[in-house]
Chains A and B, each alone.
Chain A
Amino acid sequence: MTSEAKAPVVEGRGLGKTYRDGSQAVEVLRGVDVEVLAGRSLALTGPSGSGKSTLLNLFAGLISADTGELYFTADGQRHKWHLASQRERTRLRRRYIGYVHQFFNLIPTLTVLENVRLPGRLNVGNRLDARALELLAQFGLDDRAGAFPDVLSGGEQQRVAVARALLLEPPLLLADEPTGNLDAGNSNQVVELLFGAARESGVSLIIATHSETVAAQADDRLDLGG
């Protein structure tokens, strides 16, 4: 664990991404270098439109970079993320990456417990059902297990999303402005859960945020506004 803790989970060199709409092109990322070591946390900061979410989506393998190289290491294997097929990225993402979004974090047609169980069911069948219940209890949501998301508060929904992201104890946890839609109290609670759980289980955390308070809790910081 100790030797692995020093190896980078995510390693990017010269990453660039441009979006095109007809004749218009918007360059969102240019020449970004990034490295996140195992068990450490990184805050992505910068103004709106600076490419925080795009970079997170690159790490998640949801999109691919136009330029540069990106490597993702999981279970001791270093994957060439920039060369991997979409199918391969999907397979690795579902097993090794947890993702918490700002909005619409839960599947509305699944109950709270089913939402948390989902990554487990997608990967290892029902072997993590008990773990899902433990996480809900740990996050103070065990009494909401049978409820559908539409009756949950925003804070509760984000806590469920964090619980779900942690179910598989993935080596990489991505969070895209997870507190952007919450009041201060709920915001603190969710941030504590995220950072606490990441530290506790040795998970690497990359969090995109506007909040200086949140960014300050991270081990490292990458400002995309410059």
Chain B
Amino acid sequence: MLARALGRFVVRSFWSTAMAVLGIALGVMSVVSVHIVTAEVASELEALTPREFADLTHFLHQDDLSADEYFELRARWHRGAYPDIEFLTPVIDEPAVIDGQSVRVLGLDLIGGGFTRLDFTSGTADPRGVWVDDTLAGRLDLNVNGSIEAPDVVLADIGVAQQLLGWPADRLSYVATRIRDPIQEVKDYGEHLLPGLGAGWPETRPEVDLDDTWRLLSAQQQNPASQFGKSVLFNLSALAMLGVLVAWFLIYQVAVAWLRRLWPTLERFHLLGVGMTVLVSSFVLTLVTLALVAGVIGTYLGEWLAEWLFAQATGASGTDLAVNGWVLLKAFGSALFVAVGGGCWAVWRRNDTTRTYAWLTWFAALILVGLTIWGVVSAETGLAGAFLSIATLSVISMLIVRPWLEWSRRRAGWLKGPLLWVLGFRETVWHPGDLTVAIGGLGLAVATAIGVGLMVDSFRADFDRFLTQRLSYEVVVEGPKDALRVFSHDRARDNAETQVYREGEIRVGGVPTELRVADLNVFEAARYGHDGVLSASTVLVSEQLARTASLEAGDSFTVAGVTSRVAGVFPGFGDIAPRLVVDESHPLAMRATEVDSIALRHMDAGERARAGVAYPDLRFIEQTTMRDQALATFDQTFVITGILITIALLVAGIGIYVATTSLRLNRMASARLLTSMGVSSSENLGIDLARAAGTAGAALGIALPLGILFGWILCRVINPRAFGWTVELALNPAPVLEPLGWGLLAALLAGVVRFGSNEESQTAG
């Protein structure tokens, strides 16, 4: 009987049921699509690190590390000096050119090292042989044992690697270790649930009592490319959760509306002797059923969206992306969480209307303010701390909606103007229980859109300035190293007009750093924002390197026995690795042997055409083309972000619709009264519009300051922590007004549109 009553209710409330299912499905779609995409990208990122390194957590560096120093460290470890270190092995890891191929030579102790993942069964296992990636197969005149999955890497036993590099037998690059982490399992599960989460964990230095000559770097610091990518994934995953959060508000809204209409029926069943626990459970079970349906729809939609997003982000079409158990867990977990959580909360709030918990609200808000400040101020909290600040700010904004509406209600008499408009506006604040959550949800979605919009806009402006500064040459020449060498030799007579860039790799404080060598004359130095020329003892460092190695302009540091002074720090938007720029006269210049590219200050079209014929292997790229490509890539990067925000706004709009439907239940008597007084349907529409405008005003009033705060945190806290660069927040009107406009439109449409006009007056059961 009860099931029939609930079923009939759901069918009769067709539109609000459909809206609830659609809202949850959109939230699930957002979560599923982003999870699938990020998991795919994460697996590609993992391929950047040889699998044999996957279990290593930290790396120990020392200048000119010798085998003796390593054995001394190992002896102390065996004696129990470092109980948290589980594994220790010497490593050779250096760039080299072998048979004309730029490769990374990786030397490991393959005999005693315990690298169980290395597949010795394929091919031979000649101790003097090497293992190479498929990209190098057949291009090296070496004794190849088998293949590994790491692009451009030559893996060999440590002795062979030393021979390949021409190093003495007692020289090493660094020591790799695995240090025990008591919450590693939790982190692993977290990574499965939220790919990229690893980048969000605060960087904590393990308690290992090493002497001062050793510098300890985490795997993330050692492999900035992977860290960079994971930071992007973490940002996306965190943003995708917004869809679920807003969906949660929506289902709560639905639960409140339904409960109000169902309650008389439930009370009648209760009077007939049915226990309230059974009734409430049945109610929540109804929501759970809807959530399961929405979960299935959302998962299918999410899989489709993931493939589309992946194609947008990477240009690869037709990629078959996997839906695994973690995706399903997340999809149905999110859906069920919002259903059960929203339903239970609605029931609890209904049964607990007498207490206001004002003191608890303010106490919670105070704690959250503290957490927000902690997350922003304390760099040690990392990316997670920054997102914690955004989360706590979101909760604070939700907490203040109701007190704000109640405060406004107490002052509603102040509002003057045409009576029907006044009536509509006041209805916004008259039933805080109906609108609080929807206003909060819309406010949050719009605030996120404003924050991300401000960040993207500011970033684009900085990036544009950066490109203007960097792309000061007319043409850049790229192509095979040999062809570049020939071209640079031919152009040597025109030296002032030609800039030859050489690249190499060094370690600064153990951090792999891209070394760039050029003629740092006034023109070239200006590309990095530096006035004057660079001397043989000065260098320019990227913002990432400055942050990683704690350097700033004027500081001195020593690398490979050469001491240099930092002449300036330049922004490196888009750089994955830290960069160090030196003049050709600098002693470190000899470490960069490969010509990477050549820039020409002037080259007209005719000359370019002739050069294209003379050097068919080279590409002559115009500055304007590079600029357009760079900006196009920049815009493509944020396609996913834009879609996620649109989904959140859609869900929030549905939330307002459901809340408005609920509110109409409250004003049915008023509506009848107005009709009996001769208020026309167009005037009723005006009242609806005024109420919707009031709802939008309340939501956008919260969204504006919150969005600007989000923007500031994204530019000044999250970007430096995630990518190592700082973006100056520019408060341009467009990224603020556009989301406000969409929010207003969503609220107005949701407040005015009515599906199924009879639904509101439909009695329960």
Q: For A62, list chain B residues within 8 Å (CB).
A: 675-676
- CB neighbours of B419 from chain A (8 A): 110, 114, 117-118, 121-122
Question: Per a CB cutoff under 8 Å, which of B420, B672, B680 touches A90?
Answer: B680
User: Is residue B412 contacting chain A, with contact meaning CB distance below 8 A?
Assistant: yes
- B676 partner residues in chain A, CB cutoff 8 A: 60, 62, 93, 99, 101
Contact yes or no, B673 A104, CB < 8 A: yes
Question: What is the CA–CA distance of A99 and B678 in the complex, to the nearest angstrom?
Answer: 10
Stretch binding the partner chain, chosen from B177-185, B191-199, B422-430: B422-430
A-B contact count (CB 8 A): 67
B5 smallest CB distance to A (angstroms)? 17
For the residues of B in contact with A, the DSSP-based class is: helix
- Quick one: CB contact mask for B389-426 with A, threshold 8 Å, 1 for yes? 00000000000000000000000110000111011001
Residues of B671-725 contacting chain A, CB below 8 A: 672-680, 683
Report if A111 contacts B (CB, 8 A). yes
Complex alpha-carbon distance, A114 and B430, angstroms: 16
Q: Closest chain A residue to B678 by CB distance? A: A94
Within 8 A of B (CB), among A37-61: 60
Residue-by-residue, is A110-128 near B (CB-CB < 8 Å gives 1, otherwise 0)? 1100100111011000000
Query: Would you give the 0/1 interface string for A92-109, flagging 1 where the beta carbon is closer than 8 Å to chain B?
Result: 111101010101111111
Q: State whether B413 touches A118 (Cβ < 8 A).
A: no
Which of A94, A97, A108, A146 interacts with B679 by CB under 8 Å?
Answer: A94
B673 engages A105 (CB within 8 Å)? yes
Chain A contacts for B680, CB-based, 8 A? 87, 90-91, 94
Q: Which of B412, B426, B673, B674 has the most CB of A within 10 A?
A: B673
- Asked whether any CB of chain B lies closer than 8 Å to the CB of A148, the reply is yes
The answer to whether A109 touches B426 (Cβ under 8 A) is yes
B673 lies within 8 A of A107 (CB): yes
Cβ of B430: which chain A residues have Cβ within 8 Å of it?
A: 108-109
Q: Which residues of B contact A93 (CB under 8 A)?
A: 676-678
- The answer for the CA separation of A135 and B593 in the assembled complex, in Å, is 98
A117-B419, A121-B418, A148-B413 as given contacts; A107 in contact with B675, CB under 8 Å? no
| Contact in complex: A107, B678 (CB < 8 Å) | no
From B412, B674, B683, contact of A107 by CB (8 A): B674
Quick one: which of A90, A105, A111 has the most chain B CB within 10 A? A90
- With A and B bound together, what is the CA distance between A92 and B418 in angstroms? 21
Q: Separation in Å of the A169 CB from the closest CB of chain B?
A: 15
Q: How far is the CB of A202 from chain B (nearest CB, A)?
A: 21
B358 within 8 A of A: no
Asked whether B679 lies within 8 Å of A122 as measured between CB atoms, the reply is yes
Q: Are A94 and B669 in contact (CB under 8 A)?
A: no
Q: How far is the CA of A93 from the CA of B427 in the complex (A)?
A: 25
Complex interface: chain A residues within 8 A of B423 (CB): 107, 109-110
Known: A111-B413, A117-B419, A121-B418. A104 touches B669 (CB 8 A): yes
Asked if B670 is at the interface (CB within 8 A of a chain A CB), the reply is yes
Q: Is the CB of B426 within 8 A of A119?
A: no
Q: Taking CB as reference atom, which chain A residue is nearest B680?
A: A90
A63 to chain B, nearest CB (A): 11
Q: Which of A141-181 contact B (CB under 8 A)?
A: 146, 148
**Inside 8 A of A104's CB, which chain B residues have their CB?**
669-670, 672-673
Q: Mark B333-362, 1 if CB is under 8 A from A, else 0.
A: 000000000000000000000000000000
Shortest distance from the beta carbon of A77 to any chain B beta carbon, whole Å:
17
Chain B min CB distance to A86 (Å): 9
Q: How far is the CA of A92 from the CA of B422 in the complex (A)?
A: 24
Question: Looking at B423, B427, B676, B679, which has the most chain A CB atoms within 10 Å of its CB?
Answer: B676
Contacts of A114 in B (CB 8 A): 419, 422
| Shortest Cβ distance from residue A173 to the other chain B in the assembled complex, whole angstroms | 12
Contact partners of B426 in chain A: CB under 8 A = 109-110
Taking CB atoms, residues of chain A closer than 8 Å to B427 are 109
Q: How far is the CB of A87 from chain B (nearest CB, A)?
A: 7
CA distance A108 to B677 in the complex (A): 15
Q: How far is the CB of B689 from chain A (nearest CB, A)?
A: 15
Cα-based distance from A101 to B672 in the complex (angstroms):
10
Could you tell me the distance between the alpha carbons of A121 and B253 in the complex, rounded to whole angstroms? 35
Which partner residue on chain B sits nearest A150 by CB separation?
Answer: B430
**Interchain nearest-CB distance for A121 vs B (Å):** 5
Name the A residues within 8 Å of B678 (CB-CB): 90-95, 97, 122
Kindly provide the distance from the CB of B117 to the nearest chain A CB, expressed in whole angstroms: 70
User: What B residues does A110 contact at CB under 8 A?
Assistant: 419, 422-423, 426
Chain B residues with CB under 8 Å of A105's CB are 673
Report the separation of the CA atoms of residues A108 and B667 in the bound assembly, to the nearest whole angstrom: 9
Rounded to whole angstroms, the CA-CA distance of A81 and B674 in the bound complex is: 20
A122 near B670 (CB under 8 angstroms)?
no
Interfacial chain B residues near A92, Cβ < 8 Å: 678
Residues of B within 8 A of A97 (CB): 678
C-alpha gap A119/B674 in the complex (Å): 10
Residue of B nearest to A89 (CB): B678
Residues of A within 8 A of B412 (CB): 109, 148
Please, which residue of chain B has its CB at the minimum distance from the CB of A176? Answer: B676
Task: Tell me how far the C-beta of A116 lies from the nearest C-beta in chain B, rounded to whole angstroms.
Answer: 11
Chain A residue with minimal CB distance to B428?
Answer: A109
For A109, A111, A114, which residue has the most chain B Cβ atoms within 10 angstroms? A109
| Complex Cα spacing A127 to B58, Å | 83
A90 to B681, CA, bound (A): 9
B675 to A, closest residue via Cβ = A62
Decide if A103 touches B669 in the complex (CB within 8 Å): yes
Contacts of A148 in B (CB 8 A): 412-413
* Distance in Å: Cβ of B63 to nearest Cβ of chain A: 76
Kindly provide the distance from the CB of B681 to the nearest chain A CB, expressed in whole angstroms: 8
Q: What CA separation (Å) do A57 and B8 show in the bound complex? A: 30
Closest beta carbon of chain B to A109's beta carbon, Å: 4
Q: How far is the CB of A91 from chain B (nearest CB, A)?
A: 7
Q: Hey, which chain B residues are within 8 Å of A111, CB to CB?
A: 413
Q: Are B673 and A101 in contact (CB under 8 A)?
A: yes
Closest chain A residue to B415, Cβ basis: A109
Give the distance in Å from the alpha carbon of A134 to the alpha carbon of B331 in the complex. Answer: 64
| Cβ distance A101 to chain B, nearest Cβ, rounded Å | 7
Contact in complex: B677, A119 (CB < 8 Å): yes
CB A52 to nearest CB in B, in angstroms, measures 15
Do the beta carbons of A118 and B418 come within 8 Å of each other?
no
**Which A-chain residue is minimally distant from B412 (CB atoms)?**
A109
- Using Cβ atoms and an 8 Å threshold, which residues of chain A touch B670? 104, 107-109
**Would you list which residues of chain B between 421 and 445 have a CB under 8 Å from chain A?**
422-423, 426-427, 430
What is the chain B residue whose CB lies nearest that of A96? B678
Measured between alpha carbons, how far is A106 from B674 in the docked complex, in Å? 9
Return the chain B residue nearest A118 by Cβ: B419
Q: How far apart sit A117 and B683, CA to CA, in the bound complex (Å)?
A: 16
A139 vs chain B, min Cβ distance (A): 18
Could you give, for residues 466-498 of chain B, a 1 whenever the CB lies within 8 Å of some chain A CB and a 0 otherwise? 000000000000000000000000000000000
Shortest beta-carbon distance from B664 to chain A in Å:
14
Q: Which of A91, A94, A103, A146 is close to B677, meaning CB atoms less than 8 Å apart?
A: A94
Q: How far is the CB of B47 from chain A (nearest CB, A)?
A: 62
Distance, CA A94 to CA B682, complexed state (A): 14
Provide 19 A-B residue pairs closer than 8 Å at the C-beta atoms, listed in order of the A residue.
A62-B676, A91-B680, A94-B678, A97-B678, A99-B676, A101-B673, A103-B669, A106-B673, A107-B673, A108-B670, A109-B412, A109-B430, A110-B423, A110-B426, A111-B413, A118-B419, A121-B419, A122-B419, A122-B678
Given contacts A101-B673, A109-B423, 11 further A-B contacts (CB under 8 A): A62-B676, A87-B680, A90-B680, A94-B680, A97-B678, A109-B430, A109-B670, A110-B419, A117-B419, A121-B419, A122-B678
Closest 9 CB pairs of A and B: A94-B678, A104-B669, A109-B426, A93-B678, A99-B676, A121-B419, A109-B430, A90-B680, A90-B678
